[in-house]
Structure 1
Amino acid sequence: MNTPQPSLGDQQEMSFIDHLEVLRWHIIRAAIAVVVFTLAAFLAKDFLFHDLILGPSRADFWTYRMFNQVGEWLGAPGLRMDRPTFDLQNRQMSGQLTMHISTSFVVGLSLAFPYTFWEIWRFIKPGLYPHERANSRGAVFFVSVLFVLGLLFGYFIAAPLSINFLASYQLDPTIENQIDLQSYISTLTTMSLSCALVFELPMIVFFLAKAGLVTPEIMRVYRKHAIVVILILAAIITPPDVTAQIIVTIPVILLYELSITIARVVGRNNTARLNAQLAENNHVA
């Protein structure tokens, strides 16, 4: 099943059909990884749902205990987070089975993301020039690390904050919160995956800077606009609580500042390479 990777020279001779055949095997291997992780998640039902998915619905969840301890240390009772007051319910005959399958797939897709991206990168890499391959070294590692960090941030910080607030919000004390299972899992997975994608900002800026579409000067000029957009996004994905919005906003702003540094380094390297090429051309001439 492992098809040999053609060199750059070989790829120049490859037809469109040959490229599709190579791409097909990369997609097949990535799909197999997703299926394997999905089956593993499906079989680990007790851990997947009792410990992982339903963790933020219990009082002993790590995030709630951490916020309570920090609130005690700082003498800030506003940081305290009590157990969300709601009951989960399934209202469809096949609801639990359907959620078991769909949630297992989402978890399998998330776990297989690093390998899937590596397969995509293996298809793209042979078509790059030597200096592009050298400048892109470690792309798979950093994309995977940022994805995992974003996923953990979403699961342990953003999602619990939203779940805790939304489940505790009441129009009237006589109204009980009986949350549908699908709604709860959708909130948890959406928050976690959204943060995982947002944390890819530095790598997105890296590739855009390599293509000459983004410069550090542009990012500095629009820094204030970016901060406003970040605040709006934080307000959308978090409850209308200032503390929660600040907790979510700070890492994203730091990622933006890191992206400016990355764009500056990429621009400096591009300029040095162009100067070296000009000097070599002048020397030859």
Structure 2
Amino acid sequence: MAKEFKRASDRKLVAALDIGASKAACVIAQLTEALDGDYEVDVVGVGQHGASPKDKAPDFDAAIRSAVEAAERMAGDRIRHVHVAAAGRSLSTRRIGVDLDIEGGVITREDVVDCLAQGARAAAPEGSEPLHAFKIRYAIDGEPAPDDPVGLAGAALNAEILGVSVKDSYVANVESMLGRAGLELDEIVAAPFAAAEAVLIDDEKELGVLMLDIGARTTSYALFDRGVLIGCGGIGVGGDHITRDVAQIFGAPITYAERMKTLHGSVLTGPGDEHRLVDFPQLGDGAEIVRH
């Protein structure tokens, strides 16, 4: 999924950057070729920096520079190219059908690649560029086909595809910010898909699972069924909104509401939750502590 580049030290490095609403995070990994021809991935540098100091406008340029510099110091090497994770409302998805005529009568790997590429382009709305095309199901001449149809005979390859695209304006803004930091963009990856690849196992994807990645201002999601990605995107609600709701409901300072959310917040209820009490300091100088 990620391209690689070689430094003068002959280290094969790949760098990823996540630019969120409240912070930027960078990770640098070293790729070591294994005996089977694949690569072993070792994280050699990480860094993050807040973009939204209290009572100030977000400074994404400074956050990117600081996060990258911290990761470079840990890695002991410099980077010039990064892969950026796109999330939230910058992404759009569309399910689309593609019919590809097979000239030679037997489906080749190039036919499959062409089919996915056509789907990615067709699914991208105006003002967006395609990122990914995920196969949902294949058919040959209208009949169900296996996940890998290469080598099978047929006159037409039919595919249902999930196309993921990103807004042109987002790409332009990212390239501009990276340029000011002395970096170049290698590629953009849909953040919910990347997060799902990192945290989900094959059985979860096969049985059906919804992965949520809750950021400060947005929440991204990836939906899998029968091992296939069938939906991903984002909504404009994140952890900051939850914190403010807690603060407003209990009349508590925002910093304390954030702490309570982190320590006691849970999606699932447990035995005895209704009997557990939590102390909340109230707003105002010398305000009392109220138990809820």
Q: By the TM > 0.5 criterion, same fold?
A: no
Structure 2 length-normalised TM: 0.22
Structure 1 length-normalised TM: 0.22
More helix by percentage:
1
More strand by percentage:
2
Structure ranking higher on relative contact order (CA contacts 8 Å, 6+ apart): 1
